[in-house]
């Protein structure tokens, strides 16, 4: 396999809402480049990109897939990404290493929610981007409306380079306003015939050409001067200006294709070869916020952006060479794991097909198998080098479920499988909650959870059931109370004796010291589950030795760790210990810990205890026509609507909602919006539950205690 220089490499990421046609476009691109001899289809389950069985069964992409093709003197690496937002981790990791994004738009649907969300990541990475409007051969195609929607959402930087001459059932021609030519395709697609632009389209084509030239010239003073002098720009100047403008997010060129009929994909490949930036033109950010130039002349720096486990093969690690080069047999150092890794063999991928390669230069993307200690987000360098590439920041979870194993002995096996899946997909988060007594999986959506269960069953032969997760409630108090408790135990030999008097109050920042008590010492304890314990030692006259202070605090904490109402953690209380008694022989730490625990529990129950529940901020992005249904559903879930605002041609609903009402919300939202709405959630605060809910939860907890 030929080894390519940095300047001859292009790294392309295909993005877009589900059903935009990314996988089909890849087939046409690879076919046009001669990388495959026959185009596969999704229905026939023989595409290069969707090669996993689950993707064939579902008829859509689940994993990002790496492919490559030679075009003229360049190598084009292509990463096809899933369209469903549940698999956004695959998109983010691909954008980390991509140098140009190709955003597909469905000409019958326009700009969809999935496009909006992916766009945010291209902005974050400042990835040069082109739009490709697909399915212009569909009888409901509306290219102009799709472009207008794109401009409305992404700004006037969206600039037409091509448009369909005869969109719809008879589509076979594209007018290119960069080359100022019309491409007419044969019935079965492929290489087009170049024809003059029809007289009926000259005015429109000239107008779009002028807009394109002006947009390109606006970014560069020299090009602007040349444009004013000559009234136009030649092809070389246009190419130079396009590249500069794309690098600085000053232009987003628009192309059109029929991926299904292989019309237009070759022109897209040609543009990527001629205009898309090479890796050397896009330095990478390091963790120290400095930039690293992508150059073959530097020391080797490899960044690992994806990990997958394959049956009978082991782990496959995907990497990009950001500096220097790597050859088979080389050894590099992993600074995170403090271990050396040997690259016995390097591979390129075309879907599931591996191709041996002797060497990869800066800017190229490859894979290696069976590394010992390397995982996603690791940087490998020569030992002693301080270089670390800035990590990928994966999105926070939006859904949670609990795992119910068939038996206790299967739990360990399940955890091994889950941690492997987390290694492959960092958007999966695993929590073994001591508080709830459950193993919780956090993911991106119902489809994401379904895929987790599928992979556990198919790859690890583990049968699991997902159940509703418990809620991490909190307990606190609303009023003050004081009491005492005497712990006395005599059972032969040394006894136990301890008596404590305490005042328990709701804690608030800046509250005054308790009236009539002499505070000798105080401790502000930040509780690990949130909230505070403010402990005041008000003992005067030695009724209790100060040496028992820590034991008393332990007793109080014992009650806070197992709240009297539901067994949930308690928070935000102030406890003043102001009196007590001890025995010269029978008093000890255990006696005072037990006395404090019982006293605290008794006091807590008389302090107007309330149950708090986690409240989340939720943002829902949706179209106008489904906003009413979505708001009604949110209100039925006890959500408080905080406001609405326009976000492009979408509406964003902002609300606060109890976590207990968010169970399976992703499925409901997908149903209400036909899959055209998305939501994000973030913990906001704890708030009191209603008296009715509190009483039912307390009753349920007491029944569980009786049954136990």
Choose among 443, 445, 441, 401: nearest CA to 671.
445
Residue 349: count other Cβ atoms within 10 Å of its Cβ: 20
| Residue 705: per-residue pLDDT | 79
For residue 526, the tally of other CB atoms under 10 A from its CB is 8
pTM beyond 0.85: the answer is yes
- Give CA–CA dist 571/673, Å, rounded: 40
Domains and CATH numbers, the chain: 6-212+241-282 (3.40.50.300), 285-381 (2.40.30.10), 399-470 (3.30.70.870), 475-608 (3.30.230.10), 611-693 (3.30.70.240)
Give how far the C-alpha of residue 183 lies from the chain's centroid of Cα atoms, to the nearest Å: 40
Query: What CA–CA distance (Å, rounded) separates 617 from 639?
Result: 10
Q: Which residues of the chain have pLDDT under 50?
A: none
Rounded to 5 degrees, what angle do the CA atoms 267, 270, 273 make?
Answer: 155
pLDDT of residue 492: 65
The three-class DSSP label of residue 270 is helix
For residue 583, the model assigns a pLDDT of 92
Sequential DSSP letters for 669-701: HHHHHTT--EEEEEEEEEEEPPHHHHHHHHHHH
For 134, the enclosing helix (H) or strand (E) is strand 129-134
Q: Please give the helix or strand (H or E) that residue 239 lies within, else none.
A: helix 235-247
- Dmax (CA) of the chain: 112
The pLDDT of residue 185: 97
Output the CA torsion 675→672→628→85 (10° steps).
-30
Could you give the count of Cα atoms lying within 13 Å of 515 in the half-sphere of its Cβ?
1
* Three-state DSSP string of 514-563: CCCCCCCEEEEEECCCCCEEEEEECCCCCCCCHHHHHHHHHHHHHHHCCC
pLDDT tens digits for 590-609?
A: 999 999 999 999 999 999 99
Question: What is the per-residue pLDDT for 235?
Answer: 80
Sign of torsion, CA 623 627 629 633? Answer: positive
Model pLDDT for residues 327-362, shown as the tens digit of each residue: 999 999 998 999 999 999 999 999 999 999 999 999
CB 263 within 8 A of CB 292: no
Per the DSSP assignment, residues forming a β-bridge with 134 are 106
Determine the distance from the C-alpha atom of residue 426 to the mean position of all C-alpha atoms in its chain, rounded to a whole number: 8
**Count of helices and strands (H, E) across the chain:** 16, 38
Contact 21, 287 (CB under 8 A): no
The secondary structure of 590-605 as a DSSP string is HHHHHHHHHHHHHHHH
pLDDT at res. 113: 78
Quick: pLDDT tens for 178-211. 999 999 999 999 999 999 999 999 999 999 999 9
Scanning 561-673, the segments in alpha helix (DSSP H) are 589-605, 624-636, 665-673
Q: Determine the 3-state secondary structure of 473 from DSSP.
A: coil
Give the H/E segment covering residue 208.
helix 202-219
Q: Give 297: exposed, middle or buried? Use CB within 10 Å, 0-12, 13-18, 19+.
A: exposed
Contact 64, 306 (CB under 8 A): yes
């Amino acid at each position: 396999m030929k080894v390519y220089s940095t300047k001859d490499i292009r790294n392309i990421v295909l993005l877009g809402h589900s059903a935009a046609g990314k996988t089909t476009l890849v087939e046409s691109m690879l076919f046009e480049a001669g990388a495959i001899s026959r185009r596969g289809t999704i229905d026939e389950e023989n595409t290069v990109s969707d090669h996993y069985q689950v993707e064939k069964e579902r008829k859509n992409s689940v994993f990002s897939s790496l492919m490559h093709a030679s075009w003229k003197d360049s190598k084009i690496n292509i990463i096809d990404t899933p369209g469903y937002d549940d698999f956004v981790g695959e998109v983010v990791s691909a954008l980390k290493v991509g140098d140009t994004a190709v955003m597909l738009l469905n000409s019958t649907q326009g700009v969809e929610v999935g496009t909006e969300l992916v766009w945010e990541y291209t902005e974050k990475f400042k990835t040069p981007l082109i739009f490709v409007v697909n399915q212009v051969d569909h009888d409901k195609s509306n290219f102009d409306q799709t472009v207008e929607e794109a401009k409305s959402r992404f700004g006037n930087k969206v600039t037409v380079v091509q448009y369909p001459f005869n969109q719809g059932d008879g589509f076979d021609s594209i007018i290119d306003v960069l080359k100022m030519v019309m491409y007419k395709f044969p019935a079965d697609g492929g290489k087009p015939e170049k024809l003059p632009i029809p007289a009926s389209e000259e005015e429109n084509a000239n107008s779009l050409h002028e807009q394109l030239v002006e947009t390109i010239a606006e970014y560069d003073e020299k090009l602007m001067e040349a444009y004013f002098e000559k009234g136009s720009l030649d092809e070389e100047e246009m190419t130079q200006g396009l590249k500069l403008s794309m690098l600085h997010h000053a232009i987003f060129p628009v192309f059109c294709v029929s991926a299904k009929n292989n019309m237009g994909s070759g022109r897209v490949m040609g543009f990527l070869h001629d205009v898309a930036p090479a890796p050397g033109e896009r330095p990478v950010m390091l963790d120290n916020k400095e930039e690293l130039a992508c150059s073959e002349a530097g020391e080797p720096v490899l960044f690992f952006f994806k990990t997958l486990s394959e049956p009978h093969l082991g782990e496959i690690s995907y990497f990009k060479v950001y500096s220097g080069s790597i050859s088979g047999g080389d050894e590099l150092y992993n600074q995170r794991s403090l271990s050396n890794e040997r690259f016995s063999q390097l591979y390129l991928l075309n879907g599931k097909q591996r191709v041996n390669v002797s060497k990869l230069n800066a800017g190229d993307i490859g894979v290696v198998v069976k590394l010992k200690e390397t995982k996603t987000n690791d940087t490998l360098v020569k030992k002693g080098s301080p270089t670390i590439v800035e990590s990928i920041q994966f999105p926070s979870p939006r859904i949670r479920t609990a795992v119910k194993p068939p038996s206790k002995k299967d739990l360990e096996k399940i955890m091994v499988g889950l941690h492997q899946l987390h290694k492959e997909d960092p958007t999966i988060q695993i929590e073994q909650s001591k508080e709830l007594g459950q193993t919780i999986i956090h993911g991106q959506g119902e489809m994401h959870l379904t895929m987790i269960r599928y992979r556990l069953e198919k790859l690890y032969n583990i049968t699991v059931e997902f159940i509703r997760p418990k809620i991490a409630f909190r307990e606190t108090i609303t009023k003050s109370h004081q009491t005492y408790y005497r712990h006395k135990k005599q059972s032969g030999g040394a006894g136990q004796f301890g008596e404590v008097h305490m005042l328990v109050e709701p804690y608030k920042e800046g509250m005054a010291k308790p009236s009539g008590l002499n505070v000798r010492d105080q401790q502000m304890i930040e509780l690990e589950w949130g909230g505070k314990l403010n402990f005041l030692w008000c003992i005067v006259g030695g009724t209790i030795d100060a040496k028992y202070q820590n034991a008393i605090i332990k007793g109080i904490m014992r009650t806070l760790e197992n709240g009297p109402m539901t067994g949930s953690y308690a928070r935000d209380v102030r406890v003043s210990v102001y009196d007590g008694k001890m025995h010269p022989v029978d008093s000890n730490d255990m006696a005072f810990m037990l006395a404090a625990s019982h006293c605290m529990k008794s006091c807590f129950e008389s302090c107007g205890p309330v149950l708090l529940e986690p409240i989340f901020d939720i943002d829902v992005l949706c179209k106008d026509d489904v906003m009413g249904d979505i708001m009604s559903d949110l209100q039925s879930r006890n959500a408080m609507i905080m406001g609405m605002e326009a976000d492009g041609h979408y509406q964003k609903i902002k609300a606060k909602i109890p976590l207990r009402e968010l169970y399976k919300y992703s499925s409901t939202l997908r149903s209400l919006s036909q899959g055209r709405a998305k939501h994000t959630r973030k913990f906001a605060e704890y708030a009191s539950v209603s008296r009715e809910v509190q009483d039912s939860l307390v009753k349920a907890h007491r029944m569980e205690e009786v049954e136990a």
